[in-house]
Amino acid sequence: MLAEAGLASLTIAFLLALYASLASLVGARSHSYALQRSGRNAALLTFPALLLSTGLLVTALLTEQYQISYVYEVTDPRTPALYRLTALWGSQRGSLLFWSLLMSVFTFAAIWRSWRSERRLMPYAIAAMMATLAFFLGLSLLIENPFARWWLLPDAPPGQQELSSPLIPAGAVAPSQAALRAGAQGLNPLLRHFGMIIHPPMLYLGFVGFTIPFAFALAALASGELSTGWIKATRRWSLIAWIFLSLGLILGGRWAYDVLGWGGYWGWDPVENAAFLPWLMGTAFIHSVMIQEKRGMLKLWNMLLVIATFSAVMFGTFATRSGVIESVHSFARSEVGFPMLAFWAAVTLVALTTLFRRWRRGELTDERQFANLLSRESLFVLNNVVFIALFIAIFWGSFGLPIISELFFGVEVTIGAETFEFFVVPLFIAMYILMGIAPLSAWGATSLPRLGGALKLPLALTGLSILTLWSSGTSLLVALLGYGVVLFAGFVALYEIYRGALARRRSLNESWLPATLALFRRNQRRYGGYIVHLGVTVIGIGVIASSVFQTEVQHTLARGEMIAVRDYALRYDDFIRAQAVDGRMMNIAPVTLFRNGAEIAQLRPRIDDYEQMPMTIAGAHSTLENDFYVLLIGGDYERATFRIYINPLVNLVWWGGLLLILGTAVAVYPKALPTGQWRKRERARQ
Amino acid sequence: MADISWQKPKHQEKPKRTERLKFLTAGLLILAAVLYLLISGTMQGARYFITVEELLQDHAYHGQTLRISGAVDGDTIDYDSENAVIQFEIVNIPSAYDDLATALREALRDERASRLKVTVEDAAMPDLLQHEAQAILTGALSADGVFQATELLLKCPSRFEESTGPEGLSKIPEHQ
């Protein structure tokens, strides 16, 4: 019954999305308000329909309906309740449905917010959002149906008697519950981690979120309403999408660090890169969009960027879900690959063609032109160029080179992590330098002496920091230069906040704290942006320290024996075999950690055995200074082998990530207006 | 009440000729720098990604750093934990296939398929290194015919990624 109801609500949602897309488009073209409203209502209804459908799948997961083949694949009778819930996105079919649900939530919210204020744009935007949703729901219905059930065909030849199908095939019987329970597979152990519980939804929220600015941009192009209206309607959406995408990437890194057991968090794997590409494009967009708002410039460029961001989202979704890319992270090879590639190509082509038409008619002409190479807008464009260059380099290494070499030379050529680093390190250096200089230049024009004057203090602080680091024992030139570039960007952000607060203190006679708080309240986006810059600085320090100064050793110890690694010492204490409540066998090797002779922690590195698949769980002692990270490689009661990593300042990567999220949240947070102004705004909306 | 709107006349700030030249020069310099970065990085770091059979048949590949892919034979896995050295054998899988799990299984059943000994030094034993996993290795074939790998990536589609029809379901049908 659950499966039938789920299938029915999924089908209804698909039909609603299809209708909403067509009705909105036809309504907009024919100026029929009734049709536009009907399209809007259908779009709103996709949300409850998908909520019901997803709710039914979750109920099936929680109540162990193993005849539904998705439930059979991702859970088993021993799966804990939390993982039953998160199994919703544990594999392709459930996560596609979840993706669609999030898309309908975003559409619902966008309609709620902008239906009245953006009357001309909304029907087209709804058409674009609903076309995307209908495409994904079509994939769910026809190719990756989450409500397909196992059936037995007793009359079929051996080997073809089991079939997974959403509809009941002729002559089919249902398998026994006992056989289903016994065969159920359980969630992939690699996915049983806190980071993996939250990482996919965050990434999907980011991906889905960028659909909204894209839909509004397309609506602006289709309707000819090319003023900054579409940007104002979507700037908050872009930032919200960017927060989620950033959080998704950070949590993905944390998951890799904790679960994959190689002491790192980023491996330049094609699927990781596929999620990073829309982030780069989106970051370029949220910077350059400010220039259009403030100066009426870069209209064509912003359109191109928002199309490219959505295109990168679609490509990333294809790369992750089709299984055609060789990666540790990808879903299994799936039939969705070709339709996704076709959809990606079609959407990109339609958007670019519409853009080209408007551009040729001269409707995207800028109100001003670039007048000075050191002006803030020029530096912002340069920053965009760096992000695009990063995009091109990473895309080339992950997809361009392998595909082109295969097509034209018949042999696939790839590059490794060290080549990616060769590409991106100079570009990241350029990014940090620009992050430092751009905020200090002025709109319109800046002279070199004036810019130089503003740079004096941040540069002096940077020099002082490098000297302090050098005198405290950091002698590696590469690291010192890296720290210098990254710290410079951070000092500029702090200096800007200081300058703003100082100006308020002088003119309004406020004390430091109220002045700083007022600064953030009055210009949330600018000062929220500086917190983001500080977050990126902190991440940069963490990345440099943990990659340049990482220590990695492997040793076999007899029980009671100790090994010294830098100023730490590790003692192998015991070997325990135990069974967890979910049935896995655990081999635990408790160790004691000492630092400078004093005991500081008891760690329990272990290997969990999930029947056919072992999983190494690190024991880690984390401080802000470094992570002592130990893996049990193997052993018995007498001897055990450990692999030890000391990762200096690695936690700054996560803390910097949090700062980045906080800064974006400050920028996005709705402005508190006095009651009178709210009323005025509401009246204007009506 | 009639709406009255007033729009500020747009004024175009024409950049000076010298400024335009500066923008052009800066743009070309950046383009050249990015192109240099991409071309030189690709020339240095590019590696062929080939099958075991292609590696064994073509002597031109011997000694070169490249990437290969093969099916792991679980019986041959040997891990020396004292020295952190992994040794195992991989079997050729064709470069094109429909279903990875089937391709891996069939490769390991084929007695005539090319096999290659692999050594990975200074590595922790990966969880996914097991029978019928796909190994993607970066390294070079040494003179003694052993592939010395510096990087090992594994994909294990058999259990958790690709669900095939569960055998045994057909034993006890429950209801019509």
Q: pLDDT digits over A520-540, tens only? A: 988 888 999 999 999 999 999
Asked if A392 and B34 come within 8 Å (Cβ–Cβ), the reply is yes
Asked if A183 and B44 come within 8 Å (Cβ–Cβ), the reply is no
Query: Residue A141: enclosing H or E segment and its boundaries?
Result: helix A122-142
Which of A162, A419, A633 minimises the CB distance to B125? A633
Cα distance between residue B88 and residue B73, in whole Å: 7
**For A30-90, where are the alpha helices, taking DSSP H only?**
33-62, 69-74, 81-86
Contact B69, B134 (CB under 8 A): yes
Nearest-Cα distance to chain A for B22, in Å, is 7
Per DSSP, which regions of chain B are E strands?
Answer: 47-51, 66-80, 85-92, 115-121, 134-141, 146-155
- Dihedral sign (CA A320, A321, A322, A324): positive
Nearest-Cα distance to chain B for A640, in Å, is 9
Residue A270 in contact with partner chain B when CB distance is under 8 A: no
Greatest extent of chain A over all pairs of C-alpha atoms, in Å: 89
Measured between CA atoms, the residue of chain B closest to residue A365 is B12
Identity of the amino acid at A603:
L
- Two structure tokens written together for A678: 């709210």
Residue of A411, A425, A608, A645 to mutate, interface with B, max B Cβ within 10 Å: A411
Does residue A606 sit in helix, strand or coil? strand
Asked if A382 and B13 come within 8 Å (Cβ–Cβ), the reply is no
Asked if B170 and A175 come within 8 Å (Cβ–Cβ), the reply is yes
In the sheet with A576-579, reading across from the earlier edge strand, the strands are: A576-579, A585-588, A606-610, A613-617
Crossing angle (nearest 10°) for helices A299-322 and A337-360: 170
Q: Check residues A175 and B8 and name the one with the higher pLDDT.
A: A175
pLDDT at A292: 86
Q: How much is the average pLDDT of B55-81?
A: 89
pLDDT at A373: 75
Nearest-Cα distance to chain A for B114, in Å, is 19
pLDDT at B158: 45
At A580, phi and psi to the nearest 5? -85, 165
pLDDT-based confidence at A154, cuts 50/70/90? confident
Asked if B99 and A72 come within 8 Å (Cβ–Cβ), the reply is no
pLDDT at A310: 94
ipTM: 0.78
Contact A75, A63 (CB under 8 A): no
Residue bearing tokens 């709620």: A112
Asked if A415 and B47 come within 8 Å (Cβ–Cβ), the reply is yes
Measured between CA atoms, the residue of chain A closest to residue B28 is A385
Asked if B19 and A371 come within 8 Å (Cβ–Cβ), the reply is yes
Chain A CB contacts of B12 under 8 Å are 367-369
> For residue range A15-46, what is the model confidence (pLDDT) as tens digits?
999 999 999 999 999 999 999 999 999 999 99
For chain B, the structural domain boundaries read 17-44, 50-159
Chain B CB contacts of A448 under 8 Å are none
Q: How much is the average pLDDT of B141-148?
A: 92
Nearest-Cα distance to chain A for B75, in Å, is 15
Residue bearing tokens 């890319």: A325
Q: How much is the average pLDDT of A93-101?
A: 94
Residue A432's contacts (CB-CB under 8 Å, 6 or more residues apart) are A485, A486, A488, A489, A536, A537, A540
Cα distance between residue A450 and residue B57, in whole Å: 66
Cα distance between residue A374 and residue A331, in whole Å: 46
Bridge partner list, B147: B118, B141
CA angle in degrees (0–180, nearest 5) for A164-A167-A168:
85
Q: Tell the burial category of A595 from Cβ atoms under 10 Å away from its Cβ (0-12, 13-18, 19+).
A: middle
Measured between CA atoms, the residue of chain B closest to residue A423 is B37
Chain A CB contacts of B13 under 8 Å are 368-369, 371, 444
What rounded mean pLDDT belongs to chain A? 89
Q: How much is the average pLDDT of A126-146?
A: 95
- Best CA proximity match to A285, nearest among A229, A342, A234, A248: A234
For chain A, the structural domain boundaries read 1-192, 208-446, 551-652
Contact A172, A163 (CB under 8 A): yes
Measured between CA atoms, the residue of chain B closest to residue A327 is B155
Asked if A261 and B171 come within 8 Å (Cβ–Cβ), the reply is no
User: What top-level class would CATH report for the domain B50-159?
Assistant: mainly beta
For the cut 60, the answer to whether the pLDDT of residue B141 exceeds it is yes
Cα distance between residue A406 and residue A389, in whole Å: 24
Q: How much is the average pLDDT of B58-70?
A: 89
Cα distance between residue A570 and residue A602, in whole Å: 10
- Two structure tokens written together for A555: 């040793």
Contact A58, A85 (CB under 8 A): yes
Please give the DSSP secondary-structure letter assigned to residue A77.
Answer: T
Asked if B161 and A174 come within 8 Å (Cβ–Cβ), the reply is no
Nearest-Cα distance to chain B for A246, in Å, is 25
Asked if B155 and A419 come within 8 Å (Cβ–Cβ), the reply is no
Residue A478 in contact with partner chain B when CB distance is under 8 A: no
Nearest-Cα distance to chain A for B23, in Å, is 7
> For residue range B95-127, what is the model confidence (pLDDT) as tens digits?
777 677 788 888 889 888 899 999 998 887 887
pLDDT at A608: 86
Chain B CB contacts of A613 under 8 Å are 127-128, 130, 156, 159-160
pLDDT more than 70, % of chain B? 78
Overall residue count recorded for chain B in this entry:
176
Asked if A72 and B125 come within 8 Å (Cβ–Cβ), the reply is no
Cα distance between residue B131 and residue B89, in whole Å: 10
Asked if B165 and A164 come within 8 Å (Cβ–Cβ), the reply is yes
Contact B129, B158 (CB under 8 A): no
Query: Residue A203: enclosing H or E segment and its boundaries?
Result: helix A194-209
Q: How much is the average pLDDT of A475-480?
A: 90
pLDDT at A221: 93
Residue A635's contacts (CB-CB under 8 Å, 6 or more residues apart) are A556, A575, A589, A641, B81
pLDDT more than 70, % of chain A? 95
CA distances from B69 to A332, A448, B61, B94 (A): 17, 55, 14, 9
Asked if B12 and A616 come within 8 Å (Cβ–Cβ), the reply is no
Chain A CB contacts of B127 under 8 Å are 261, 613-616
Residue B38's contacts (CB-CB under 8 Å, 6 or more residues apart) are A392, A393, A396, A423
For the cut 80, the answer to whether the pLDDT of residue B77 exceeds it is yes
Does residue A201 sit in helix, strand or coil? helix
- Two structure tokens written together for A500: 């703003």
Measured between CA atoms, the residue of chain B closest to residue A644 is B124
Burial per residue of B59-77, b for 16 or more beta-carbon CB atoms within 10 angstroms, e otherwise: eebeeeebbbbbbbbeeeb
pLDDT at A670: 78
Nearest-Cα distance to chain B for A65, in Å, is 14
- Two structure tokens written together for A552: 């990695």
Cα distance between residue A21 and residue A470, in whole Å: 62
Contact A465, A482 (CB under 8 A): no
Residue A412 in contact with partner chain B when CB distance is under 8 A: yes
Interchain CB contacts (distance < 8 Å): A and B: 195
Cα distance between residue A366 and residue A301, in whole Å: 10
Measured between CA atoms, the residue of chain B closest to residue A160 is B165
Does residue A600 sit in helix, strand or coil? strand
Strands A639-648 and A591-595: unpaired
> For residue range A354-365, what is the model confidence (pLDDT) as tens digits?
999 999 988 878
pLDDT-based confidence at B159, cuts 50/70/90? very low
Residue A161 in contact with partner chain B when CB distance is under 8 A: yes
Which of A326, A373, A416 minimises the CB distance to B47? A416
Chain A CB contacts of B19 under 8 Å are 370-373
pLDDT at B164: 43
Cα distance between residue A200 and residue A188, in whole Å: 14
Chain B CB contacts of A563 under 8 Å are none
> For residue range A421-434, what is the model confidence (pLDDT) as tens digits?
999 999 999 999 99
Does residue A611 sit in helix, strand or coil? coil
Residue A618's contacts (CB-CB under 8 Å, 6 or more residues apart) are A258, A261, A605, A629, A630, A631
pLDDT at B4: 46
Identity of the amino acid at A435:
M
Chain A CB contacts of B162 under 8 Å are 332-333
Nearest-Cα distance to chain B for A256, in Å, is 13
Q: How much is the average pLDDT of A75-86?
A: 87
Q: Check residues B103 and A246 and name the one with the higher pLDDT.
A: A246
- Two structure tokens written together for B167: 């055998």
> For residue range B17-40, what is the model confidence (pLDDT) as tens digits?
777 787 788 888 988 999 999 999
Please give the DSSP secondary-structure letter assigned to residue B33.
Answer: H
Contact A55, A102 (CB under 8 A): no
pLDDT-based confidence at B94, cuts 50/70/90? confident
Which of B34, B46, B127 minimises the CB distance to A616? B127
Chain A CB contacts of B171 under 8 Å are 176, 179
Contact A75, A187 (CB under 8 A): yes
